[in-house]
Amino acid sequence: MASLLLLDGHSLAYRAFYALPEDMATPDGTLTNAVFGFTSMLAKILADEKPDLVGVAFDAPTKSFRHAMDPEYKAGRKKTPEEFIGQLPLIREVLATLKIPTIEIEGVEADDVIATLATQGIEKNIDVLVVTGDRDAYQLVKDPHLKVLYNLRGVSDYARYDEAGIFERTGVTPAQYPEYAALRGDPSDNLPGVPGIGEKTAAKLIATYGTVDSILAHLEELKPKQRENLAAMGDRVRLNHEMSILRRDVDCGVTASELIQGEFDAAAVKDLFESLAFRTLFPRIMDAVGERAAPGTNADADKTLSEPTIEIELDVLKDAKSVASYLSALKDKGEPYSLEASWDGVPGRSTVLGLAVAGESTTAVYLEGAGLADPEVKAALVALVGENGPPLVAHRAKELMRALNVDMRNLDRDTAVMAYVLDPSESKYRLEDLFRRYLSIDAAEQETGTLDLDGTAGVVATGQRAHNVFRLGQILAVELEDKNLTSLYERFERPLVRVLALIERTGILIDQKFLSALRDELHAECDLLMRSIWQHAGREFNVNSTQQLRVVLFENLGLTPVKKTKTGPSTDADSLNKMIDLHPIIVDLLRYREVEKLRSTYADALPPLIDSDGRIHATFKQTDTTTGRISSEMPNLQNIPVRSSEGREFRRVFVAPSGSMILTADYSQIELRVLAHLAQDPGLIDAFARGADIHTATAAKVFGIDESKVDPDHRRFAKVVNYGLAFGMEAYGLGQRMDVPTEQAKEILDDYFSAFPNVHAFMDKTIAETKTKGYTETLFGRRRNINELASDNFRIRQMGERMALNAPIQGTAADLFKLSMIDVDKALETGGFSTRTLLSVHDEMVFEVPEVEREKVTGVIRETMQSVAKLIVPLVVDVGFGPNWAEAK
C-alpha cells in the first residue's frame, strides 16, 4: 500500500526556531536555526518513514476564511519575529532544491490543505502520516490509514497518535475533537474557552452528551456554574466549533496521489547545504532520499566527515591491573584517543564514576572509577596524558584534569574550546548541541528508553559519547582550518586549558579569621540599619520586599515616586538616589542595600567555598564570553568589589602563606593601547610613546588646553570618553555616564574625533567591514559574528554597531592577556620558580611568590607580559606586592 507524508511546514519551522539557539548563522550572518531544525527533522522523518508521496503545506500570508467568521481570530498573538520570517524563504529553497512539493493556498490555512489531501489519500487507500505541531490535526486521525505524528517539543520529540492515542491524550475521539476544542478554547488562536471548563471537564461533557449542541440543549442537567457559563457563551462555543473544523474540500491545485518528490540535483543540494553551513545534514538527506537524486549529479559526492550515529562495541575493565595494563598499552600504541567521563554530580567538582576511552575504531573501553585511584592505574594515567603521550581529544579537558588530578600536557583537541573558537556567541557548548550541529545526532537517539536498573545504560552512553567526541574533534579541526582559526586555537586557547586547570588546582589561601570578623561586622551593621529603617517607617516590614517597601514609601510615608514600572513605583537605586532629600529613610535604605549585598554575596557566600586546604578553588571559564575574556564562578572573582572601602576589605581576605607574598601584575590601559594600535592614531600613539597620562593628554586635545591646565573634571570627562569609545558607547550613553545632556555629550565626542581623526575612521571602517563579512576580527584573528547588523530593527542594528566596535578592541586585549598567561606560566616553569599563578581577573594576574624569589620573579613576569606581542605603542605592566590582595594593588 502506498504511503503519504504530509507536513505542516509553518508550525514545524516555528517550533524549530524556538528549539535551537538563536545565534545559529552562516558566516555572513544569515540566521539559520529554523532552517536547520526543520531540515534536520525532515531528514529524520523521511529516513524513518520512507514515504512514496510527500508534501509540505504552508500558511498563506493573507488572512483565512476564519478571520471573516471572527475578526479577532488570532488577535493578540505576539508579532512573528522578523528573524523567523526571514528564514521561511530558505526553508522553501531547501524543499524546492530537494524537489519536494509545497502547497500554499490563499484564504485557508495549512491545516485545511493537509486535511483535504489526507482525506483524498485515505479515500484511495493510501496510508497517511500527518506531521504537525497543531492539535487541530487530531480530528483527522482515522484507523487504520491516517495517523498524526505530533511535535511535542524541540525538533526530535514526537508522539505518534492513532485513534486510541488521541483518546488517551484528550479523552475524546478524533471525530469529537472540534467539540472538545470548542469548549476548551484555544488561546493561541484567540478562541476563548468556557470559564471553569478545562480539558477534563470538556472531555467528560462530550462523553456524556456527544456534541456541543447536545450539551447546550441539556444545560438544566449541569452544575449551576457550568450552566451559567455555558448559557452566557453558547454562541461563542458554537462559533468555536465551526472554526475548529478543518476544511476537506480545498482546491489545492494538486491531488494527494500527485505529491511525488521529483528527481533532484544532489550537487545543488550539497552546495545549498554548504552555503547554509549545513554540511553534516547532507549525508542524512542522501541516506533518506538519495535514490531520488538525478543520475550524474554527484549523488555519491563527499558527504563530509560526518556520519549519523555509529554504534560502538564496549569493553568494561573493572580490576586495577587490567586498567593499568590497558592505559600503558594505549600510550605505547601512540594513536590519538578520546576521554569522556561519567560524573557523580557537577563535572569537575564531583567524583568520576568511570572513564571511557575511544578512537578511530568502533570499539570503546570503559574504566570503572573505583580503580582510577589505584597507584598503578594513576601512574599509567599520568604517563598517558603526559608530555610524551599520544594526542588526546576531550570535551572540557580542564574538568578532567581537575577531577583526576593529572597534568594533561598532550591535549590536542578540546571540542568545547574548538567550538568556542568557531563561534564564541553560543556560551554553553553542550555535547548534545554540538553532536546535533556537527554530527547530526540527536541526544534522544542515544537514550535507551528503559530503566537503567544495573547502570549499564549509563556506561554504554559514556562510551558512545567518547566515540562521538573523537569524531567531533575531527570535524571541528577541519572547520577551524577552513576558517583560518587553527593557529588561534593552537597558540591561544589550547595551551590556556592547562594553565587554567593549574590555577584552579592551586587555589588561593583565605584568612578565615579576618573573613569571620568582617562577616560579623556586616551582619551587625545590617541589623542596625534595618532597625533604623523600621523606626523611620513606624513599623516592621521585610526591607528586601519591593512590594512591602512600596507600601511604606508611597502609601504610609506619602513620598512621590520619580519613576513608575509595569508593576508599580520604582524602588531601584537610581530612583532612590533621586529621592534622597525627601526623607531620612532613603539614606538608610541605600546604605542597607550596599551592606546587605556585601554580606550576602561575599561574607556569607565565601566560607562554604573554602576547601579543606584552607583555599578557595574557583572555576575559570574559558568559553563564556563573546569577546574572548575569561570569567569565573564559585566565586565570581571578577566582581570582588574595589570601589568602596568596605568592598576593598574583601580583598584582604585573599592572602599568601607564611614566607610568601601576593604579587599582582596588571596591564596599564590595555584597551586604549589596543585602540591606538588598531586605529593608528598619531595623537594616541604620541601620548603613549611619551609615557603621558593618556586621559590628561586626551583632555588637553579635546578641550584645546595645555596638559598642565587639565583639571580633575577635564580628566574625568576624557576618561569616560576614552573607555566609552572602547566599549562602543555613543552620545546618549556618554551623556548618561557624565551626567550631561546628550547634545553636550555629542559636542564632546565631535571634539574628540577632531582631535583623534583616525579613531573615527577606524570606527567607520570597522562597522562597514563587519556589515560586509558578518563578523569582527581581533588583531590575532579571533572572530565574533555580529548578526544584529543584519536586523530590520533599528535598535538591534545600533546595538550591533556597538558590539562591532567593542569586539576587536576588547577581544584583542583578551588575546594579549591570554598569551601573557600562557607565556608567564612557561617562563616560571622554565626558570624553575616555585611562584604560582592564583587568579586571573580582567587584565590582572595574581601570584603567590616565595619571598626569596620576589626580585627575580618580578622581572620575569613584567618582561614576559610586556613582550608578549609587539604593538605600535608599548605595553606597560604595573606590579604590586603585599601580604594580601588588597595591599598588593
In angstroms, the CA 864 to CA 873 distance is: 16
Same domain, 714 and 743: yes
In angstroms, the CA 45 to CA 770 distance is: 38
Same domain, 472 and 527: no
pLDDT at 344: 86
Contacts (Cβ under 8 Å, ≥6 apart) of 468? 309, 431, 435, 439, 441
Higher pLDDT, 637 or 411: 411
In angstroms, the CA 294 to CA 289 distance is: 11
| Residue 872 domain-assigned (yes or no) | yes
Q: Across residues 419-446, what is the average pLDDT? A: 79
pLDDT at 306: 43
The three three-digit cell numbers of residue 176, written as one number? 469529537
Higher pLDDT, 283 or 156: 283
pLDDT at 451: 34
Look over the chain and give the mean of its residue pLDDT values, rounded to a whole number.
90
pLDDT at 26: 80
* pLDDT tens string 475-527: 999 999 999 999 999 999 999 999 999 999 999 999 999 999 999 999 999 99
Same domain, 829 and 764: no
pLDDT at 347: 87
Same domain, 117 and 197: yes
Q: How confident is the model at residue 304 (pLDDT cuts 50, 70, 90)?
A: very low
Tell me how many degrees the CA angle 204-209-210 measures, rounded to the nearest 5.
90
With beta carbons less than 8 A apart as the criterion, state whether 873 and 676 touch: yes
* pLDDT tens string 177-224: 999 999 999 888 889 999 989 899 999 999 999 999 999 999 999 989
CA 293 to each of CA 54, 100, 268, 884: distance values in angstroms, whole numbers, following the listed order: 15, 12, 10, 70
Q: Please choose, from the candidates 428, 598, 413, the residue with its C-alpha nearest in 3D space to the C-alpha of residue 523.
A: 598
pLDDT at 442: 65
DSSP H stretches of helix in 757-793:
757-773
| Residue 843 domain-assigned (yes or no) | yes
Q: Look-up: residue for cell 456527544? A: 210
pLDDT at 193: 92
Sign of CA dihedral 568, 574, 579, 584: positive
Same domain, 243 and 103: yes
| Residue 878 domain-assigned (yes or no) | yes
The three three-digit cell numbers of residue 718, written as one number? 576624557
With beta carbons less than 8 A apart as the criterion, state whether 811 and 798 touch: no
Instruction: Tally the domains of the chain.
Output: 5
For residue 94, the one-letter residue type is V
Query: 739's torsion region: left (phi>0), alpha (psi -120 to 50) or beta?
Result: left
Phi and psi at residue 651, to the nearest 5°: -70, -20
For residue 852, the one-letter residue type is V
Strand, helix or coil for residue 66: helix
| Residue 747 domain-assigned (yes or no) | yes
* pLDDT tens string 809-845: 999 999 999 999 999 999 999 999 999 999 999 889 9
* pLDDT tens string 391-402: 999 999 999 999
| Residue 282 domain-assigned (yes or no) | no
Q: Across residues 534-541, what is the average pLDDT? A: 96
With beta carbons less than 8 A apart as the criterion, state whether 317 and 365 touch: yes
pLDDT at 21 over 90: no
User: Which of 237, 257, 277 is the last residue in one of the domains?
Assistant: 257
Same domain, 642 and 740: no
Q: Please choose, from the candidates 861, 850, 880, the residue with its C-alpha nearest in 3D space to the C-alpha of residue 664.
A: 880
Same domain, 45 and 118: yes
pLDDT at 440 over 90: no
What's 517's domain CATH number? 1.20.1060.10
Q: What is the CA radius of gyration of the chain?
A: 33
In angstroms, the CA 327 to CA 584 distance is: 70
pLDDT at 307 over 90: no
| Residue 292 domain-assigned (yes or no) | no
| Strand bridging mode 411-414 / 392-394 | parallel
> Would you tell me the crossing angle of helices 224-232 and 234-244 to the nearest 10 degrees?
70
Give the range of the structural domain holding residue 406, as residue numbers without chain letter.
313-506
| Residue 294 domain-assigned (yes or no) | no
- First-residue to last-residue Cα distance in the chain: 80
The three three-digit cell numbers of residue 726, written as one number? 572602547
pLDDT at 295: 81
Same domain, 185 and 63: yes
Same domain, 463 and 514: no
Q: How confident is the model at residue 444 (pLDDT cuts 50, 70, 90)?
A: very low
Contacts (Cβ under 8 Å, ≥6 apart) of 476? 413, 415, 418, 419, 422, 438
Task: Note the pTM of the prediction, 2 decimals.
Answer: 0.71
DSSP H stretches of helix in 542-620:
546-550, 573-578, 584-598
User: Which of 466, 489, 506 is the last residue in one of the domains?
Assistant: 506
What's 489's domain CATH number? 3.30.420.10
Same domain, 554 and 598: yes
User: Which of 752, 779, 806 is the last residue in one of the domains?
Assistant: 779
Same domain, 467 and 318: yes
| Residue 731 domain-assigned (yes or no) | yes
What's 724's domain CATH number? 1.10.150.20
Q: How confident is the model at residue 737 (pLDDT cuts 50, 70, 90)?
A: confident
* pLDDT tens string 598-621: 999 899 999 999 999 999 999 999
pLDDT at 188: 82
Same domain, 134 and 162: yes
